Amino acid sequence: MKESSIRPTIRRSIRVTRRAVQVGTFLAFVLIPLLNNYDMRALTGNMVAFNAAGVPLADPLAMLQAAVGSFSVTAVMITGAGLVLLAAALLGPAFCGWLCPFGLLSELVQCLRNKKSGVSGSAKSSGAVFFRPVLLKSGLVAAGLLLILTALPLPVLTQLSMPAWITRFWQHAILLREILWPALWLVPAVLLAEFVLGGRFWCRYLCPQSLLISLAGLAGLALPKRLQVRFTPKACNCPASDRACLAACSLNLNPRKPVAAQMAQCVNCGDCVEACKKRGRALGFKFSAKD
């Protein structure tokens, strides 16, 4: 009796922990400008450039744009972007699944969409499944960098960063006492598009900020150790028609097929692992690059 009362809590632990981290991150970027307003500056910045007690962290794409636009690279740019890319190499694109405030909103929108349509998971939601997300994002980033080089020496791709808009909104509201109006219409507009299109369309196909993080995560597969969701076919006791793990993935990935193209997109959220725990535990987190 005691064991059965404990198991449900264990099964939900990944989801509960991840939601707590996501919400905590969202609230932290509301709290940081409040602290800065009272001259407490151990933590400063937003999700384009952030400083934690003297340690710089930066959006790699923002730093790449700055380097292309200025034809120069600084130590801060290398350190800030390098630390983020190193984390992505070791943990995969976990930023998208665990820290990104827009990712949290996007997942909630997907849940609402599934409830409205009566679908139990995202596996049956509509979406352009024939797109190649990494290639599409690469083309978008290349076009943005070309624009910076030829016509507009500004970080144009940063204007497509939803987490940047969300965190900068609070900076402007609290520190500058002004409303960042583009954030008030752009973020809801993208969320509405995701609700209509399904499959977390923006996050999967268009978000330029996730490209370098995903590529670093893909490169990390060559490392001796790298966090990833691994599938053990021998442990799977589900019939072929049981698609609970696929339906659990809000990005429409198939955890049973851990090919490189999918692993570059997997944000290690653990939703498929949670679904599999109820059906045999063939999926699980492993800090390894080997099967």
pLDDT tens track for 5-48? 333 333 458 989 999 999 999 999 999 999 999 999 999 999 99
By the 10 Å C-beta count (0-12 exposed, 13-18 middle, 19+ buried), 26 is classed as: buried
DSSP-derived pairing of the beta strands 55-58 and 49-52: antiparallel
In a domain, residue 286? The reply is no
- Note the pLDDT of residue 256: 85
Tell me the pLDDT band of 85, cut-offs 50, 70 and 90. Answer: very high
The pLDDT assigned to 3 comes to 37
Residue 234 lies in a domain: yes
Check whether 153 has a pLDDT greater than 60. yes
Structural domain contains residue 287? no
60: in domain: yes
The lowest-confidence range among 2-6, 215-219, 231-235 is 2-6
Total domains in the chain come to: 1
124 Cβ contact list (under 8 Å, min separation 6)? 247
Residue type, 18: R
Average pLDDT over residues 108-117: 88
Q: State the pLDDT at residue 12.
A: 54
Give residue 262's pLDDT. Answer: 78
Mean pLDDT computed over 99-114 = 94
Read off the pTM: 0.87
Quote the CA–CA distance of 82 and 86 in Å, as a whole number.
6
- 56-64 mean pLDDT: 95
Q: Is residue 71 part of a domain?
A: yes
Asked if 235 and 282 count as a contact pair (C-beta separation under 8 A), the reply is yes
Residue 289 pLDDT: 57
Residue 256 corresponds to which tokens in the numbers above? 């049973």
Q: Are 258 and 3 in contact (CB under 8 A)?
A: no
CA distance 62 to 84: 12
Q: How many CB atoms lie within 10 A of CB 72?
A: 9
Query: What is the predicted pLDDT for the residue at 115?
Result: 85
Lowest-confidence region among 9-13, 100-104, 108-112 = 9-13
Question: In terms of pLDDT, which residue wins out, 239 or 156?
Answer: 156
Q: Of 60, 98, 101, give the one whose Cα is nearest residue 211.
A: 60
What the block records as the tokens of 190 is 């993208």
Q: Is residue 246 included in any domain, yes or no? A: yes
Torsion angle of C-alpha atoms 262, 127, 198, 169, degrees rounded to 10: 70
228-277 residue pLDDT tens: 898 888 888 887 777 788 888 988 888 888 777 777 789 999 999 998 88
Residue 224: other Cβ atoms inside 10 A: 8
Amino acid letter at 153?
P
Region of poorest pLDDT, from 3-17, 100-114, 128-142, 255-269: 3-17
pLDDT score of 129: 44
Residue 106 reports pLDDT greater than 90:
yes
Structure confidence at residue 177 (pLDDT): 94
Among 105-109, 159-163, 187-191, 256-260, which is the least confidently predicted range?
A: 256-260
CA separation for the pair 96, 79 (Å, rounded): 20
Domain with 192 in it: 2-278
Q: How many CB atoms lie within 10 A of CB 252?
A: 22
Which residue from 60, 61, 41 is spatially nearest to 51, judged by alpha carbons?
41
Question: What is the DSSP pairing of strand 283-287 with strand 55-58?
Answer: unpaired
243 in a structural domain: yes
